[in-house]
Chains A and B, each alone.
Chain A
Amino acid sequence: MGKRVGMEVSIAAAEVVGLCDVDVIAAYPITPQTHIVEHLSELVADGHLDAEFVPVESEHSAMSTCVGAAAAGARTFTSTSSQGYALMAEICYIASSLRLPIVMAVANRALSAPISIWNDHADMMMARDTGWIQTVAENGQEVVDLLLHAYRVAEDPRVLLPVMVNLDGFILSHMIEPIYMPDKEEVQRYLPPYKPALRLDPRNPMTFGPVGMPEVYTEAKKAQDEAMKGALPVIVEAWKEFEKHFGRAYHPVETYKTDGAEILLLTMGSVSETAMTAVDKMRAEGKKVGLVHLRLWRPFPAKELVEALQGAKAIVVVDRAMAFSTQSGPVCVEVKAALFDHGISTYVQNFVAGLGGRDVTVEDFEMMVAKTSDGLAKGLPMTYEIVNVRE
């Protein structure tokens, strides 16, 4: 039996990765991810974890190490943040294109400049088109649960794609929270041993990552895209299985007090918990407000999202990164596209909030809802704005 512990979320993330029987961990420390790999190095150094710990000289090498190790058939892990992610991005494309089930935790942090070590979702959005599955945690328990789920999904023979588990930097990574930490048997019951579909082996040589002439590249991308589409039902299945084992339920799109809601907030990550408090407050005041929480960012659960959003009079999409598209933040662009594809033209107001560690408060959500209902009533054009920016 596992046990309930009070633990810093980064340490808990490292502990659960340790329980997953990882073979190779590549680590380059970057704020605010540092504690995750630091604790893994302790686990290896103290003999609690029988894994190869590779202290690399950059994040580019961290992902390269994971790619090499995964290609050789190892279960791998690494973790990063922000600029570190930017540096490893080149290899992230290779990991997904080679269909290597690497798992990575990203302690989300703003991208420079100006230099910011604080939280927003710029790195997660940068990773949007790399072909990685991306899940988003709301609290410490979910970080642990999603990491376990990540290995199960990534290594499923029907998927074979790398998975990124996003957790808000500092806000989650450095919090001490009550966490149910499973024990080794529980983990093993849920996560079967990794059997690579293909692996580099001198006795059975093959070439990974060859040149793709114009005749083959399109087909290769199509195959990858189909894998991503096919991952969605497997992700859901793995969550159902998770619920059977651990009693906690996860869904690509989750809702809070949406019954009869006229205005729906849509958020991702730890800010959803603040949004719930705001919904509670506004509901107590008789306002018909609810929350839709996006748990899965890639593959994008468009159908599930539209089901959760339809019926609302207005949608308030809260982005925590810039897209500089002059239209919407990155999440809102996808939400609008999903609605359009389903023939729904709900009023959508987009707010970019919490950039570079700026607090997003209950009052902020109340303000967003108030502005949106005002815009809806007056028929103001749908637009986006940055919350609390000083004029």
Chain B
Amino acid sequence: MAKETGIVRWKDLALGCTLMEPGTAAELKTGDWRSMRPVTNRELCIKCGQCYIFCPDMVYSRTAEGYYEANYYYCKGCGICARECPKDAIQMVQEEK
């Protein structure tokens, strides 16, 4: 399969639409079906890492300053991080077209 899932001709698909490389869930662009995105307010954030721990898609990564940043290629907008954040630092905002 192509690196970015789906942009491929039917003839180029592997047998049975198999993902041939290990760890290839990385190719699944789960961000495609998001309607709300989490936005972190760094004024409120205490860098506790709860969002990082609870995100089911391992979307957050730690920045040099210790904040947590979401990768929207994978974030599906489930809102779990916003719910778990002890400081209500994360707001779910509507995606725009």
Contacts and interface: CB of A to CB of B under 8 A. Distances in A.
Interface size class of A (residues with CB under 8 A): 20 to 34
A99 B16 contact: yes
B14 A198 contact: yes
Given A213-B5, A213-B32, A198 B18 contact: yes
A22 B53 CA distance: 46
A286 interface: no
A116 B65 CA distance: 71
Given A215-B7, A222-B10, A207 B19 contact: yes
B97 interface: no
A97 B17 CA distance: 8
Interface stretch (B20-28, B41-49, B67-75, B85-93): B20-28
Given A206-B22, A207-B25, A215 B15 contact: no
B6 interface: yes
A219 B16 contact: no
B15 A210 contact: no
Contacts of A160: 15
A92 B23 CA distance: 27
Contacts, number: 68
Given A99-B16, A223-B13, A226-B10, A210 B22 contact: no
A208 B6 contact: no
A299 to B, nearest CB: 18
A98 B10 CA distance: 15
Contacts of B39: none
Contact of A213 (B6, B10, B25): B6
B18 to A, nearest CB: 6
A216 B13 contact: yes
Interface in B48-90: none
Interface string A201-223: 00001111111111110111011
A197 interface: yes
B9 A219 contact: yes
Contacts of A209: 16-17
Given A198-B15, A198-B16, A211 B28 contact: yes
Contacts of A214: 6
Contact of B16 (A98, A211, A213, A216): A98
Interface in A97-127: 97-100
Contacts of A212: 6, 17
Contacts of A213: 5-6, 28-29, 32
B10 A205 contact: no
Q: Which of B5, B6, B17, B18 has most A Cβ within 10 Å? A: B17
B11 interface: yes
A373 to B, nearest CB: 47
Given A219-B10, A226-B10, A97 B5 contact: no
Nearest to B24: A207
A65 B21 CA distance: 24
A154 B1 CA distance: 24
A219 B32 contact: no
A100 B16 CA distance: 8
Given A206-B24, A210-B17, A219-B9, 17 more contacts: A97-B17, A98-B16, A98-B18, A160-B15, A198-B14, A198-B15, A198-B16, A205-B22, A205-B23, A208-B18, A209-B16, A213-B29, A213-B32, A215-B5, A215-B6, A216-B8, A216-B17
8 cross-chain pairs, A with B, having the tightest CB-CB distances, nearest first: A215-B6, A216-B6, A207-B19, A205-B22, A219-B10, A99-B16, A222-B10, A98-B16
5 contacts: A207-B18, A212-B17, A213-B29, A220-B10, A220-B17
